[in-house]
Amino acid sequence: MSIRVLIVDDSPTMRAMIASVLKSEQDIEVVGSACDPLEAREAIKALNPDVVTLDVEMPNMNGIEFLERLMRLRPMPVIMISTLTQEGADATLQALELGAVDCIGKPRDGDIRAAFRPLPDMIRAAAHSRVRSRNSAAPTPAPTSNFRPNRNLVAIGSSTGGVEALQTVLQTYPANCPPTVITQHMPPVFTRNFAMRLDKTCAPTVCEAEDGMAIQPGHVYLAPGGDAHLKVEGSGSNLRCKLFASGAVNGHRPSVDVLFDSVAAAVGGRAVGVILTGMGRDGAAGLKRMRDAGARTIGQDEASCVVYGMPRAAHELGAVEKQLPLTRISAAVLELCTDAMKGAA
């Protein structure tokens, strides 16, 4: 049965381009399009699509305001289409916090069809995602107190649904958290804005990783989107971020597998690996190498994932030591990284 998609964008050219990309997929059917949220509201009622692609900037009502109403009244899978600008990134991150499943950048020039190449797989993942109503906001948890760190490093990988998942994990991190490196699949520009938003809402210092940056306790380092992979290099307490340009791995740059592989090699048993919600298999093999090197590993459980793809692949590979609901992952990580643990370094 085909996945029914509604395209919402104020540009006729962009609507046609997105439709052209999707119509080449046998399992995806474009059932309609709308030029603004008012038209989209009527189209959703009439066509009952499985997935909506939604432009951020539109007349009559912007995409964020429309999404907020949609998630409150009729939650459904939505993929945001955004310009690769700081303003577009800010709006898209707000949309992901409101419940949009994923986002893709709208290029200003160049090969637009190539830029939208990941969209069909995003549509497929969105169609099978768990979308939650945003009728009531969950209270922000307080950071964990009385944390006494050992020398462990934490490495986290995430993709679809990762914005909400990472916020949930990091909001209970204490200011003196274990040094943490993260690869989240996200377009360029968006990762810097995401790191800035996390830095404002979380106790530790959160930043976009830079090449050669020292990895320190109390800091969280987010891989930049789009142009390079993030690795951990060094040994002992002298660990650094390494950014290097290379081809995509598992269809992604940055790749979770690249990060996890480097942690397995540099840190071995002094690491904790976490794989969160996301489509595909990126990170599964790397997490297995981390576990084989002596690291402790955690996977998000199916019930709490937006898309149970990456955690499923890791679990089936034997990479996951323990599966946990999202709300319990932070506490489990901190327990593994405290000097109260038996045998802590």
Q: How many CB atoms lie within 10 A of CB 36?
A: 18
Check residue 344 and give its pLDDT: 40
Catalytic annotation present for 185: yes
In the set 102, 282, 315, 330, the catalytic residue is 282
Any domain includes 345: no
The alpha carbon of 24 is separated from its chain's Cα centroid by a whole number of angstroms, namely: 27
Q: How many CB atoms lie within 10 A of CB 23?
A: 12
3-state secondary structure of 27: coil
Q: Which domain holds residue 306?
A: 153-336
76 with 27: CB under 8 angstroms? no
47 with 32: CB under 8 angstroms? yes
> Helices 86-98 and 63-73, interaxial angle, to 10°?
10
- Measured CA to CA, the distance from residue 156 to residue 271 in angstroms comes to 11
- Measured CA to CA, the distance from residue 192 to residue 114 in angstroms comes to 23
271 with 336: CB under 8 angstroms? no
Structural domain count of the chain:
2
CA distances to 93, 191, 197, 314 from 300, in Å = 22, 22, 23, 10
Same domain for 49 and 163? Answer: no
Same domain for 48 and 115? Answer: yes
- Nearest of 258, 281, 261, 262 to residue 159 by alpha carbon: 281
Same domain for 117 and 161? Answer: no
Catalytic annotation present for 315: no
Final residue before a domain boundary, out of 111, 127, 143: 127
- Measured CA to CA, the distance from residue 94 to residue 97 in angstroms comes to 5
* Region of poorest pLDDT, from 27-36, 126-135, 179-188, 323-332: 126-135
Of all residues in the chain, the percent with pLDDT exceeding 90 is: 79
Q: How many CB atoms lie within 10 A of CB 288?
A: 21
Any domain includes 139: no
Q: How many CB atoms lie within 10 A of CB 82?
A: 25
pLDDT band at 263 (very low <50, low <70, confident <90, very high): very high
CA distances to 166, 220, 228, 237, 335 from 240, in Å = 22, 12, 15, 9, 24
CA distances to 113, 168, 210, 227, 239 from 247, in Å = 19, 31, 19, 9, 24
* 25: CATH: 3.40.50.2300
Same domain for 90 and 188? Answer: no
Same domain for 195 and 256? Answer: yes
pLDDT band at 339 (very low <50, low <70, confident <90, very high): confident
In the set 159, 262, 304, 330, the catalytic residue is 159
Same domain for 290 and 182? Answer: yes
Same domain for 109 and 164? Answer: no
Q: What's the mean pLDDT when you consider all of the chain?
A: 91
First-to-last alpha carbon distance for the chain, in angstroms, is 54
- Which pair of tokens denotes residue 78? 């939505």
Any domain includes 134: no
Any domain includes 144: no
Same domain for 109 and 217? Answer: no
pLDDT band at 98 (very low <50, low <70, confident <90, very high): very high
Same domain for 122 and 75? Answer: yes
Please state the φ and ψ torsions of residue 156, each to the nearest 5 degrees. Answer: -125, 135
Any domain includes 143: no
Starting from the edge strand earliest in sequence, which strands make up the sheet with 153-158, in order?
205-208, 219-222, 180-184, 153-158, 271-275, 296-300, 322-324
- Which pair of tokens denotes residue 203? 């106790």
Any domain includes 133: no
Same domain for 87 and 187? Answer: no
Same domain for 111 and 166? Answer: no
In the set 82, 185, 252, 315, the catalytic residue is 185
281 with 313: CB under 8 angstroms? yes
Can you tell me the mean pLDDT for 62-66? 90
Any domain includes 214: yes
- Which pair of tokens denotes residue 120? 């069909």
- Nearest of 296, 323, 292, 322 to residue 308 by alpha carbon: 323
pLDDT band at 111 (very low <50, low <70, confident <90, very high): confident
- Nearest of 197, 226, 193, 5 to residue 107 by alpha carbon: 226
Same domain for 111 and 175? Answer: no
Please state the φ and ψ torsions of residue 302, each to the nearest 5 degrees. Answer: -60, -40
Catalytic annotation present for 282: yes
* 272: CATH: 3.40.50.180
**pLDDT (tens digit per residue) in 191-219:** 999 999 999 999 999 999 999 999 999 99
Any domain includes 38: yes
